Structures are given as structure tokens and as C-alpha cells.
Amino acid sequence: MASFIFSLLPPFFFIIFLIYKTCNGQKTGTKIPSGQMGFPWIGETIGFYRAQRKNQLFESFFQPRIKKHGKIFKTKLMGSPTVVVNGATANKFFMSNEFKLVVSSWPTSSVELMGKNCIMEKQGDSHRCLRGVIASILGPTGLQTMVPRMCRSVQKHLVENWENRGEISLHRSTKTLTFTIVLECLFGISVDLDTMFGVFENVLEGVLAAPVNLPGTKFSSAKKARAKIQNVLVDEVRRKKEAMEGGREEEDGMLLSSLVAALIRGEITEDEVVDNIVLLVFAAHDTTSYAITMMFKMLANHPDCYTLLLKEHEDIAVTKRPGEDLTLEDVKKIEYTWQVARETMRLCPPIFGSFRKAIAEIEFEGFTIPKGWKVLWTTYGTHYDEEYFPDPMSFNPSRFADPVQAYAFIPFGGGPRLCAGYQLAKLIILVFTHYVVTRYDWSLVDPDEPVVMDPLPFPSKGMPIKISPKHNY
Ligand code: HEM
């Protein structure tokens, strides 16, 4: 009897093994990346969120797992089995296989609040169509006409918010400025900053919250704020459409009129126009403002770099008559500042990475990623790797004087979903820096101010700086 029971054990354990593999989405003969799936359903989400809040995703979450399991490892986040990928080869593979092997995958709350018709939810032809409209305004001709508008916006902002003040919050200042630039200079929409800025901020607070629409939750107040924005924008879009159809207004080089022209031609819907205005405001303002804020922090901590940067702007300023705006040609000469900005975004990326969903079973570097699993690419895993950036934790802008390996520097992503506002972000960073450093002396109030994340990174006290106008200004 005992020998009969023992003879049943090997097939019994084999069946258990097969069930285990199937539950983990793994077929026999395939090699899923190693890693821990954590607790049932929530997996390792708590550890991930805890690290994110402290802005320690790399140190506390990614780095220990890379050390233990390698650059490609599995985990479970927000209920989904997820493979985290790091390194230029993996970035290139997953970013350039968008729509073929993977599609971008955002949490339910983000999709509900940005709108189901925004570009990040689009695929294939409808994605190409929307990108085409956006790119027509954010391409070289669009940017050329945008420079003088942006110069005026930045100067107006400094006069209204910096003049006669001894101290300001740099983060708040850059947030309201980029918000205004995107709505006024990119879309051509005038807004009442005092009311609309706060409403947009309310929406952002719910973007990564649990999608629970009950009174008092972050998500529910974000939904209410989103409805307010919807009403304002629908009115604006309809007014523009009527004016363009009636021949009273025409395409004016602003994104709102290009989107409405595409609406009139029947290429996109009214919801698509509205959702993409909302998405672009979000995509632009927290990312760009954080990049500028951290750049000033880096400059404060590296006076040699600041001396070089200041000289670059003073050399341009002396070629200008009083009151004369910068041109795109002037901006193209601002090379060192862009090295400083890129080195800042390498160390302090405004977006830590992005999720994809496998739409087919994927084979990559000997691993199998089952269909339906999530893939998370991260900026840190490549930006902090000495294979691509020697002495990775040191701040050294001149490393960007030479070209960097493709897909190693990815603050703006890559492939078909490469940031559509990359050139606009560059323009805002360079123009703002020009007017600030040529007109103001400044210093950090708290050089050790911590950075936290919720859901994007920001300086916990808003990065106050002391300011005084320069004598020659
Ligand atoms: C420093 C500033 C910025 C950073 C670091 C940044 C970063 C990124 C990243 C990483 C992505 C790719 C996300 C993914 O792969 O899932 C992205 C996409 C996008 N960004 Fe930016 N961004 C910045 C500024 C802007 C600005 C100023 C705009 C426009 C006004 C903009 C518009 C977009 C849009 C529309 C997409 C979606 C592209 C698509 O799905 O085809 N971004 N951005």
C-alpha cells in the first residue's frame, strides 16, 4: 500500500507544478524573468507606493531588485503581473514595438480624468492622425512663431510675480507660468488663472488615486473638477467652431484652431479636441516646471556650472536692443544650458517611467513575457547605469557635449510615443532661464529641501528662492 502511495507522489507533484506555472502565466519551456510577486492581488504595490512617496523608487524599489534579479525582473503592481525592464536595449525594444507587441497602459483613474479620447489612449491610425495635428504646431515653423509670444509671457510673468518681491516659490512660479504658456501660447486660449489653475490641480491630485467615486475621495473631487474644465472647454471649442465655419476666424497657427479645423473636416470629434487640450496641459506643466526647478537647484549647488551658463546668456543679451525679444536663432545658440537641463533630467527625471501592456506573448533576451502582463520601463534603470553614464551619480552637464547612445537618455520616452512636446519643453526651459539669470540674482532658501512624489515629483516646500533684480536691469 505504502509503495502504491509513493508511486503516486511524482505525478501528484508534477500536476501541482503545472498548476503553479499556469497560475503564474508560465508555460513549460518558457522562462519568465525572476523576481517576487509579493502578496496575493496587491503584490508589491505597498512597497512601490511607499518608495514613490519618498522619491526613493530607485534606491528602495528598483535598485535592490536589479541587484538581486538582474535588469529584467518580475513583480506585481496594482493587481497586475509586471515585468520591469532597464537598459538601452530593452528601452529600444519595448518603446519601438509600441502597437506591435505592447500598447501604453494607464491606470483607470488617469484615463477617466484625462479622457478616453486623449492621445495616450489612441493607437494606430487615430494616434497618427492626432499626433499629426499636434506636430504641425509643435514643429519648426510653429515654434518659430511661438518664441516671441513665449518671451512676452515669461517677461509678463516676471513683472507680475517677481518684481518687488524678496522671496518667491520657484516651483509655484514655474507651474503657473507653464500652465499659462500652454493655454495662451500653444492653444491661444485666455484663461482666468486664479480659478482655472486650481481646478486643473484638483484633477491632477486624482490621476493616480484609487478610482473610487464616493463623496470625499480624491478621485471624486478630481471628477468634479474635470467636469468644470469640460464645460469651459466645450464652450470655447463650440465658439471657435462657429467662428471658423462662419468665416469670422481662420486657422491662426494656434493648436486650438488646428484641432477645430480637423473637427470641421470630420477627422476628429469634439470629445477628442477637449480631451487632448486637457491632456496636453497636464503633460506639459508639472513635468516642465519640475525640470526647471531642479535645474536651478543643481545650478545653486554647482557654482562653476552657473558661471558658464550665465556667460552664455549674457553673450546673447548684449546682442539685443532694450525690449527686443529672443528669436529661434538666439535660442539655438543656447547649448550649454541645454546640457545642464539634460543632465538635470538624467538625475531628476520628471517622469520615472511608463507602463505598457503586452498584446502578444513576447520573447526578449531569452525571457518570455506572457500576453496581458504589464511592462514598466524606467528612466532610473538606464540613467543611473555606469555602462551608459560613467560616475552616474555626479552632476556633469558636459557629458552631453557629445552624442549619447540611443535609448540611454529617455526622460522624454522614445519610439512612436516619444514626448510630443519635447521641443516646446526645451523652449520654455531655455527662454525662462534666459530672462531669470540675466535679470535676477537668486539663491536657494533651503538647499536641503527634500523632494517628494504625489503622483509626480516636486520639492516639498515649493523651493523658495531669494531674489533681487540685477543693477543693469
Ligand atoms: C520636461 C518636460 C517633459 C517631460 C520630461 C515629458 C516626458 C514625457 C514622456 C516620458 C512621455 C512618454 C510617455 C510614455 O511613453 O508613455 C511623454 C509623452 C507625451 N508628452 Fe511629454 N514631457 C514633457 C513636456 C511636454 C510638453 C511641454 C508637452 C506639450 C505641450 C508634452 C506632451 C506630451 C504628449 C502629447 C505625450 C503623449 C505622446 C503620445 O502618446 O504619442 N510633454 N512626455
| Ligand 1, atom 24: closest residue by C-alpha | 284
pLDDT for the residue 22? 46
CA distance 305 to 399: 13
Of 115, 102, 57, nearest to 353 by C-alpha is 57
pLDDT for the residue 163? 93
What would the grid cell of residue 51 be?
A: 518608495
Atom of ligand 1 nearest to the CA of 345: 5
Q: b/e map of 391-427 (b: 16 or more CB within 10 Å)?
A: ebeebbbebbeeeeeebbbbbbbbbbbebbbebbbbb
- Spatial neighbors of 465 by CB under 8 A, at least 6 apart, are 167, 168, 169, 170, 296, 442, 443, 444, 445
Which residue bears the cell 546668456? 313
Higher pLDDT, 2 or 58: 58
pLDDT for the residue 7? 57
For the chain, how far is it from start to end, CA to CA, in angstroms?
A: 99
Atom of ligand 1 nearest to the CA of 414: 15
Distance of CA 191 from the midpoint of ligand 1 (Å): 22
Query: Over the stretch 254-283, which tens digit does the pLDDT of each residue have?
Result: 999 999 999 999 999 999 999 999 999 989
Query: Over the stretch 83-106, which tens digit does the pLDDT of each residue have?
Result: 999 999 999 999 999 999 999 998
Query: Over the stretch 164-174, which tens digit does the pLDDT of each residue have?
Result: 999 999 999 99
pLDDT at 331 over 60: yes
| Ligand 1, atom 7: closest residue by C-alpha | 412
Percent of the chain at pLDDT > 70 equals: 93
Handedness of CA 316, 322, 327, 329 (dihedral sign): negative
pLDDT for the residue 360? 97
The DSSP bridge pattern shows strands 451-453 and 167-169 to be unpaired
Atom of ligand 1 nearest to the CA of 356: 16
For the ranges 93-102, 205-214, 218-227, the one whose mean pLDDT is highest: 93-102
pLDDT for the residue 387? 96
Of 53, 30, 50, 34, nearest to 42 by C-alpha is 50
CA distance 297 to 219: 32
Question: What residues does ligand 1 touch, defined as CB less than 6 Å away?
Answer: 104, 119-120, 131, 182, 186, 280, 283-284, 287-288, 291, 350-351, 354, 411-413, 417, 419-421, 424-425
Model confidence at 28, in pLDDT bands (50, 70, 90)?
low
Average pLDDT over residues 358-371: 97
Which residue bears the cell 505504502? 2
Higher pLDDT, 11 or 376: 376
Handedness of CA 404, 405, 407, 409 (dihedral sign): negative
pLDDT for the residue 209? 79
- Spatial neighbors of 164 by CB under 8 A, at least 6 apart, are none
Model confidence at 9, in pLDDT bands (50, 70, 90)?
low
Q: Which of 412, 429, 432, 433 is the best mutation target for the ligand 1 pocket, counting ligand atoms within 8 Å of the beta carbon and taking the most?
A: 412
Average pLDDT over residues 146-161: 95
375 neighbors 369 (Cβ within 8 angstroms): yes
pLDDT for the residue 213? 87
pLDDT for the residue 17? 47
CA torsion 56-59-62-65 (nearest 10°) is -140
pLDDT at 48 over 60: yes
Which residue bears the cell 513583480? 75
Distance of CA 63 from the midpoint of ligand 1 (Å): 25
pLDDT for the residue 18? 46
pLDDT for the residue 205? 84
167 neighbors 445 (Cβ within 8 angstroms): yes
pLDDT for the residue 23? 45
- Beta strand residue intervals within 414-463, DSSP E: 440-444, 451-453, 457-459
pLDDT for the residue 208? 76
Query: Over the stretch 100-118, which tens digit does the pLDDT of each residue have?
Result: 999 999 888 889 999 999 9
Among 2-16, 118-132, 179-193, 375-389, the minimum mean pLDDT is found in: 2-16
Model confidence at 212, in pLDDT bands (50, 70, 90)?
confident
pLDDT at 77 over 50: yes
Average pLDDT of the chain is 91
Name the helix (H) or strand (E) containing 88.
helix 88-96
Atom of ligand 1 nearest to the CA of 98: 15
Distance of CA 185 from the midpoint of ligand 1 (Å): 17
CA distance 286 to 458: 9
- Spatial neighbors of 426 by CB under 8 A, at least 6 apart, are 338, 341
CA within 13 Å, CB half, 342 = 22
pLDDT for the residue 3? 53
208 neighbors 457 (Cβ within 8 angstroms): no
Model confidence at 473, in pLDDT bands (50, 70, 90)?
low
